[in-house]
Structure 1
């Protein structure tokens, strides 16, 4: 039954049959290699014959134990022999070795029942995501060797208290699927069912996720459904034929030098779809962020290329199946195109994602802070344009890892001006992100105003927190996060246009922006921004007279400001008179 579903493109649980599974008499090994002349099992150095079924599946049962090392030896029609890792392996040797390891994937006893019973898609809840790379958030010491890494268990003790204290609600981890090259950051995968052994074994990752859930922290994994690495021990030309990639050479490779999955082949659809389900069911992940979705929508990911019909079919087929099976799990699209209905249900013609990264917001706001303040009046709409399309999809507002590598500079270093002006500007930018409708995502290091671009082989520059200006940003971000968590107006109606209103969207002469966010009871929180380099007197038009309080001001002295504050205020004639320091912002609430 599972084999038939796999071959027809209908399987969500292909991993329950393929790979290595404990059965009566030992371990059953099974792999799909229809183009092979012969397949044998290499187990702990011994070679054993496998039986070919009519459908192209090869299998055998042999005595074996957890921890034993195995590979499949594929003999091609050209009589070439290749040693292959198991595409369905649950555990792998630490690179540069690449053999598979027998593992009981059901070994962990979960203790996250309370979390699992209440988790949902967070549409009306706060979602503040901390995007991180597991091997470079912190390291034990400065070294190129693997002993610099903290294990899954050790990271649970370090990362979870930090995330809780800072006010993050979810951790998004760059790919943990097995990959041979550290410099790929995990985006060139060899093991779609194998948690990378760099940081420990699968049970260690399960304990990490379990501990996150017990601390009320959600876990999102990056997932790579577009392409796979061409290292010859893995999926590439697996059985001597193009089993996972296209038979057409012009459609076989990506711009990254990797091989593209061919979703016109039903078994490929089952393989990747089952992998997504695997991480949800076996590791209890709360969401998956699909990488490079643009390449699944358009050929080569470009709007001027034809639609990728098989890629779109994969997205609709997979997302529909996952949404039906796991209605409480979130699916995120990292999509740089303007393709419509990305977050609409498949039943209504959409792609079936829950959220889409708003890369337009990211690029526009970053370009704005790069601009000198005296030129910003000509670029005023860069900060307002996102709201013109915001309600077309369900958006996440990301400042992700892609923006702090490859010479793009860090978030702080992108800001125009002196060090002091950069510090002031970055506080305003983060406040704009948290005031703007939409869920939030920031890459690790953004919160400490990192000056060095992200280096995957080095830990973050935590020593920056010994400098008052960076420490002040760190404390400011923490306070901003906790305001976000404690104010329902800032999250419970993100995608309801009736709960956001521009108070001042066109004040380009002063480079001032103001808007209100409302909760379910109509009570509002006002955000006011002065992105000019000048002190400004400003009248904020409010909806009700009465007493108001400034709950956060980026110019406060403890945040490396000049202490130009507004404090308690009273509105007359629906107006509040404010004093705004250069490159500052204020959050104001009615008492």
Structure 2
């Protein structure tokens, strides 16, 4: 264990990635007595006091400044477990303000924001089997189907109060397991003062929001997920922070966590402040936060929010100045993100690092040595925008915009992608996924099923926001539970059943994920049939005989005797048809097995015929095929 001078020195140089072991509060033994030490970085403050329940929030506990380091500290026996506390800071210039502890591990329930003295006991984890499998596996070659969750609005109790992780452990895990998802991704769980921000305006970078329960309860939740073979990912926001005066902004009265340039510091779009990502102390603080969540909660990965805001000086709506090269690159953000990923991968090689990023100017995934940022995955926002625009369109016009559905095949391997149908697409008047679909209710459900097959057929990992699995019609509301009563309706119930079946098929069929990041995973059968607006393609596993044929009909016209090119002679069996009655369609029986005929179709030497339902999709799998042996 490093001594205090080494720890603070490394913090100041941007190399202390476990700085929470030095800052914040710590219970210690000193001179045989049990007491607490509190430390806070505030280099330009004139004076700092520790205030709380234990001294009636008075100035009786002045802290001492370690001048060389800009750190204030105090040793005291007064606090007790459960007490609230803050720091009173006389800022540069003489203004006095109560400030939170940036390293607090727990806060009081909002709207209060005092930190809580809460000693969390060391946990004896029982997820060793999960961790061992994770070390031995390659997640790029494994299925990843993510269920995105806002923790406090997944389900509410009868009295309208949200579930905490104690209740979510009982219900959410079993639900996710039953539905066949591989991972849960939570929107930010860190402390935030306003629920309306959905957790993206943080104040506590080391604290689980008290709104969701206790740290111990979340540890138990993650452990139970792992015991049920479910991974856990959490959103994290290192680019900007809450502007509330009693939190991080201008902590010591000068630009401390934020940029000195007020235009760079102010985030106009989100009404927040941007971290100065080039400042070494800020790098220590943020990377320590990320590692803390991975270490302390055994998370399987982190989704970094708003990466574009960290990469480009002109991303925001306010004034901006070019960099020293005359461009819009935010070099501080660029190098911080590379450093973040390098440090995390050194400590946790199997941690999944995901970027929410919408531009194409910077390589996001891949090796840092090649100039990439080092993320494992990038949300494919282009695919999402084009796809939803297409499905919202009247089918009459789809033939003229078929490229919206096929353009992503041109760049699908440029990055390692996740295909997101996320919370951002079902709020602010955008309508739910179900409500976006064209036509009457029956047609909307048919197209939703079609959309989900298209997502599964397209290379890339998958993400679906909660409630979308059964076609909730109303937009998501952050302060209400999902519309679970929808499932009393036969169509919603059958939609949920369809999603469950599709998720199971995805996990069972290696062709849908074994070669996800290689062009070998896909062969387009026909992406030119814009007149009939039918897309057909093959997804391939590692073995020649392991492949699936997916056909998607984007019009309300049933395609009789539809011809599909196939690579080998033999029999092809339908394994999914979105129009079956059990899913909410009208078909009692699916298509019979199709026998390949020796007729050319584009690059293929054989073709089969089948019926493709109106606004429907079918998936076929070879049953008895003949693969020619290679000539020597």
Q: 2:235 aligns with which of 207, 210, 222?
A: 222
My pick for the range that moved more, 292-301 or 493-502, is 292-301
Aligned-pair CA distance for 1:5: 1.1
- Who is 1:193 aligned against? 206
Secondary structure of 1:49's counterpart equals coil
Secondary structure of 2:88's counterpart equals strand
The unaligned stretches of length 5 or more in structure 2 are 1-5, 599-605, 624-632
- Who is 1:399 aligned against? 421
In the alignment, is residue 137 of structure 1 matched against residue 154 of structure 2?
A: yes
Distance of 1:240 and 1:310 partners within structure 2? 23
- RMSD between aligned alpha carbons? 1.4
Tell which structure's C-alpha radius of gyration is larger.
2
Q: 1:40 aligns with which of 49, 64, 74?
A: 49
Gap change, CA 1:419 and 1:141, over 3 Å in 2: same
In the alignment, is residue 67 of structure 1 matched against residue 82 of structure 2?
A: yes
Structure-2-length-normalised TM-score: 0.91
Secondary structure of 2:413's counterpart equals helix
**2:459–2:521 contact (8 Å) kept in structure 1:** no
My pick for the range that moved more, 46-55 or 577-586, is 46-55
The 5-angstrom pairing of residues 84-103 of structure 1 reads: 84-103=99-118
1:534-582 alpha-carbon deviations (Å, 9 max, x no partner): 1112111111111221111001111121217313222222221111121
- Who is 2:566 aligned against? 542
**1:121–1:329 contact (8 Å) kept in structure 2:** no
- Who is 2:543 aligned against? 521
- Who is 1:577 aligned against? 609
The unaligned stretches of length 5 or more in structure 1 are none
Distance of 2:316 and 2:536 partners within structure 1? 35
**1:179–1:188 contact (8 Å) kept in structure 2:** yes
The 5-angstrom pairing of residues 99-118 of structure 1 reads: 99-118=114-133
Distance of 1:278 and 1:128 partners within structure 2? 25
1:4-29 alpha-carbon deviations (Å, 9 max, x no partner): 11111112101111001111131111
Aligned-pair CA distance for 1:302: 6.6
**2:91–2:251 contact (8 Å) kept in structure 1:** no
Distance of 1:295 and 1:362 partners within structure 2? 19
1:357-410 alpha-carbon deviations (Å, 9 max, x no partner): 000110111011111111111001111111100111100000000000000011
Q: 1:554 aligns with which of 578, 581, 596?
A: 578
Secondary structure of 1:420's counterpart equals helix
Aligned-pair CA distance for 1:67: 1.8
Distance of 2:407 and 2:86 partners within structure 1? 54
- Who is 2:64 aligned against? 51
In the alignment, is residue 232 of structure 1 matched against residue 245 of structure 2?
A: yes
**2:49–2:62 contact (8 Å) kept in structure 1:** yes
**1:22–1:28 contact (8 Å) kept in structure 2:** yes
Aligned-pair CA distance for 1:493: 0.6
Runs of 4+ deviating beyond 4 Å: 302-305
- Who is 1:158 aligned against? 171
In the alignment, is residue 261 of structure 1 matched against residue 265 of structure 2?
A: no
**1:540–1:577 contact (8 Å) kept in structure 2:** yes
In the alignment, is residue 212 of structure 1 matched against residue 225 of structure 2?
A: yes
Aligned-pair CA distance for 1:238: 1.0
Aligned length, in residue pairs: 587
In the alignment, is residue 272 of structure 1 matched against residue 297 of structure 2?
A: no
Distance of 2:380 and 2:534 partners within structure 1? 23
Secondary structure of 2:141's counterpart equals coil
Secondary structure of 2:253's counterpart equals coil
The 5-angstrom pairing of residues 431-446 of structure 1 reads: 431-446=453-468
Aligned-pair CA distance for 1:121: 5.6
In the alignment, is residue 325 of structure 1 matched against residue 347 of structure 2?
A: yes
1:297-336 alpha-carbon deviations (Å, 9 max, x no partner): 1124279971111111110111111111110101100001
- Who is 1:566 aligned against? 591
**2:64–2:74 contact (8 Å) kept in structure 1:** yes
**1:530–1:583 contact (8 Å) kept in structure 2:** yes
